[in-house]
Amino acid sequence: MLLALLVAATVRGPADVESLTAAADAVVYARVTRQSSSWGRGGGQIFTTVALRPIETWKGAAEAAISVLVAGGEVGELSQSVPGEAAFSEGEEVVLFLHRRAPGLFAVERMALGKFSVAQGKALRDRRFVSCLGCAAGEADELSLDELRARVLGSARK
């Protein structure tokens, strides 16, 4: 556990569903269709663009496709990982709380805290490499997909 704390990213909370919804430009339930990594401008850091096909849009304008930029990835034989950054797998279903970086390009709100992986009707958030300042002890990391949807939609209407 100590090693995990030494390589954790520190993110400012809170990161409950309602706070994430309020901070996000968009909240989507989507499927990862592909990923591609490349060197950032000036080199030195690798970034991955994650292509998503929205299944449902819970906040923001519905889009046919969404691109999300995350730090880290693989280019040739080199790889970089960024503690606390949201990680994706092709074919994975996710609920993402997103903020717009540029037209057609988003980033995940509060790094990995803004991503829930979805499987068998459950939504699960992975906090292993994230230290959160201002997060409450009771913030849910596992919800049913229906409960997560209801909480986002209820918050987005306020």
Domain containing residue 21: CATH number: 2.40.50.120
Which pLDDT score, from 0 to 100, does residue 156 have? 86
Sequence-ordered strand ranges (E) for the chain: 9-12, 26-39, 46-59, 66-71, 73-75, 78-80, 93-102, 105-108, 115-119, 122-124, 130-133, 142-144
Which pLDDT score, from 0 to 100, does residue 3 have? 45
How many structural domains does the chain have?
Answer: 1
Which pLDDT score, from 0 to 100, does residue 6 have? 54
What φ, ψ does residue 10 adopt, rounded to 5°? -100, 125
Domain span at residue 78 reads: 2-157
Which pLDDT score, from 0 to 100, does residue 157 have? 83
Q: In which residue ranges of the chain is pLDDT below 50?
A: 1-5
